[in-house]
Structure 1
């Protein structure tokens, strides 16, 4: 099943040549593309409800993974048919994604029949609509180490025709370090949310590497944060269901229903590993990156693991 609006927009996009890919532009100091800014005022005026749950990440840091975990925790038992009939992008709308005259994540979120509403965003913290803060909504932020995040984002930009042209690996490496990316620099994103967490108790900050290391443990922490107490059996079932290989094969989570993504170039879910960056970074690049990282990562309390 696919929303006709998505189909009508994304199908022609899937046939576009690279020259018609969107161009990155500066939007309030953050790199953006039109499908994430076209509905800006409406998105900023989104009316949150106190029980809404926001899933926030820098792109390619585990958004779909945590979205599926939450959807299973809340609705896996009561509405199992959702999981086999609705793709994840319908169950967990992408708030800022807007295709003028066709579909907007904001409208999808408004119309969600579920309680709570699960809503996804890649916004840096300063772009989050104010009603989410006013309603004291729970927010789950997932962060991934910069090196693996870069590699994953590179492959995503190669295969997703709605994103700017990726170019070759060497130029992409430089661009990522400079922060010329859709949704801005990785550094600003992870640090901005980390800083907000210190003053806002309703943010649960998770690490992709912790999820890989022990998914069950991280699901426990998530349950504790959202106040759910599933049985041991349910937790085990969820843990199995969200294993990378199972989600990669699942048409409702792997984005294979969106023609805009060219799976001949790369699958949406590629490896899901920690340390894959070692297959891409040259020794010189790694040294350059580490130096740059030391300059930009000023907060001594925020630690990432680049290998397990």
Structure 2
């Protein structure tokens, strides 16, 4: 079995949940000795090591995994996934987040991640985001493409970040059902405790503080806590101006055309 986590938002949160679901009890030593980005390799990553001695590639990290099933994360749009995903009948979990919060989160991520293109100022970044001129392209095409794939590919579970924030336990139950996993009440509570914002933010194995190209003095990797979710739902209200919001809403009506796909 090979599980692919295709994430446009909530990457670390959902990867950590899935890692705990599969290996939290059987390989507990992983939690304190192996960073999450090594336990769940990033498929399309290609970066130089801190000493510049080698180039670290996602496929190489995947080949080094000793656990089964393999958990892999990617941000790729559906049309760019390797054919092997479909040929191997892989189990896929996709997580989408509402467009405005995605834009804000993406902006701050680009500010602190030196592997990402320089985002310039917020106004410029937002314009580029609306036009799909950012890494991985248009948010509208991304979420719609995977939503449409879900209709024909039964081994794809489509999740919404806001639902996960609203009731993590409920969404985790649905995820377990999809993955064919069964948790005791005690095990479920243990996972829910570990994936709380405060616990993940202070955990060096999950907060990405060990990655040299992320400058968390510019912007923390885990920025906000609304006491419920990993990252704040509705944070866009703190950055969008009134005119930006009005323009974005008009653009949204034109570009998100699938009547069956609804976001909070």
Q: Where on the TM-score scale, by shorter chain, does this alignment land: which range?
A: over 0.9
Q: Aligned residue for 1:24?
A: none
* Partners of 1:71 and 1:152 in 2: CA distance: 23
Q: Aligned residue for 1:126?
A: 79
Structure 1 counterpart SS, 2:29: helix
* Partners of 1:97 and 1:264 in 2: CA distance: 23
* Partners of 1:223 and 1:66 in 2: CA distance: 12
| Aligned 1:1-308 pairs, distance under 5 A | 51-58=1-8, 61-99=9-47, 101-271=54-224, 272-305=231-264
Structure 1 ranges of 4+ moved more than 2 A = none
Structure 2 counterpart SS, 1:196: helix
Q: Aligned residue for 1:42?
A: none
* Partners of 1:155 and 1:117 in 2: CA distance: 30
**CA drift at 1:99:** 3.0
Structure 2 counterpart SS, 1:206: strand
**CA drift at 1:248:** 1.1
Per-residue deviation, residues 230-265 of structure 1 (Å, max 9, x unmatched): 101100110111011211111101101012111111
**CA drift at 1:177:** 0.4
Per-residue deviation, residues 3-51 of structure 1 (Å, max 9, x unmatched): xxxxxxxxxxxxxxxxxxxxxxxxxxxxxxxxxxxxxxxxxxxxxxxx0
Unaligned stretches of 5+ in structure 2? 49-53, 225-230
| Superposition CA RMSD, Å | 0.9
* Partners of 2:126 and 2:22 in 1: CA distance: 39
* Partners of 2:206 and 2:113 in 1: CA distance: 16
Greater CA drift, 101-110 or 64-73 = 101-110
* Partners of 2:56 and 2:129 in 1: CA distance: 30
* Partners of 1:265 and 1:125 in 2: CA distance: 32
Give the structure-1-normalised TM-score.
Answer: 0.81
* Partners of 2:243 and 2:47 in 1: CA distance: 41
* Count of residue correspondences: 253
Structure 1 counterpart SS, 2:94: strand
Structure 2 counterpart SS, 1:199: coil
Unaligned stretches of 5+ in structure 1? 1-50
**CA drift at 1:110:** 1.8
* Partners of 2:109 and 2:232 in 1: CA distance: 15
Give the structure-2-normalised TM-score.
Answer: 0.94
* Partners of 2:140 and 2:45 in 1: CA distance: 22
